[in-house]
């Protein structure tokens, strides 16, 4: 991983820790913003998932109580979902753009088959 990724992991981990400490909706808004920024930087979905995995692993490794680790793990899932929501919006938008082309292509293919 390059220097920018290392900084991104640190930023992600700090934001996740803040959320786990109880920042609530503000923490989820931060997760959304991180996801949006990562898209702007050209980060892939898998890179964001790797950042999340590294952050969660580091946090869980430093947490002693098993019940607290379980709580953190569950809450980190909510944070991840919010960070991924921008990727979801873009994916749906892209698929919506492709749909008319797919339908046109399918219709053209059917017409071509009926002439045979």
Rg of the chain (C-alpha set)? 20
The answer as to whether 112 is a domain residue is no
Q: Where are the beta strands (DSSP E) in 36-103?
A: none
Residue 69 domain boundaries: 3-85
| Burial (Cβ within 10 Å: 0-12, 13-18, ≥19) of residue 51 | buried
Residue range 74-103, pLDDT digits in tens = 999 999 999 999 988 888 888 888 887 667
Q: Which two tokens stand for residue 106?
A: 């399918």
Number of domains within the chain? 1
Residue range 13-32, pLDDT digits in tens = 999 999 999 999 999 999 99
Closest C-alpha to 6, from 73, 55, 39: 55
The answer as to whether 64 is a domain residue is yes
Q: What pTM did the predictor assign? A: 0.75
Q: Which two tokens stand for residue 114?
A: 């009926």
The answer as to whether 98 is a domain residue is no
Per-residue pLDDT for 112 more than 60?
Answer: no
The answer as to whether 104 is a domain residue is no
Task: For residues 60 and 55, give the distance between their C-alpha atoms in angstroms, rounded to a whole number.
Answer: 9
Contact in structure between 24 and 75 (CB atoms under 8 Å): no
Could you report how far apart the first and last alpha carbons of the chain are, in Å? 55
């Amino acid at each position: 991983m390059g220097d920018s990724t290392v900084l991104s992991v640190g930023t992600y981990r700090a934001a996740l820790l803040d959320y786990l400490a109880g920042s609530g909706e503000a923490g989820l808004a931060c997760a959304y913003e991180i996801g949006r920024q990562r898209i702007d930087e050209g980060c892939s979905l898998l890179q964001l998932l790797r950042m999340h995995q590294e952050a969660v692993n580091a946090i869980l490794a430093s947490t002693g109580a098993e019940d607290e680790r379980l709580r953190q793990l569950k809450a980190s899932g909510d944070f991840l979902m919010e960070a991924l929501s921008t990727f979801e919006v873009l994916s749906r938008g892209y698929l919506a753009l492709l749909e008319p082309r797919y339908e046109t292509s399918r219709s053209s293919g059917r017409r071509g088959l009926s002439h045979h």
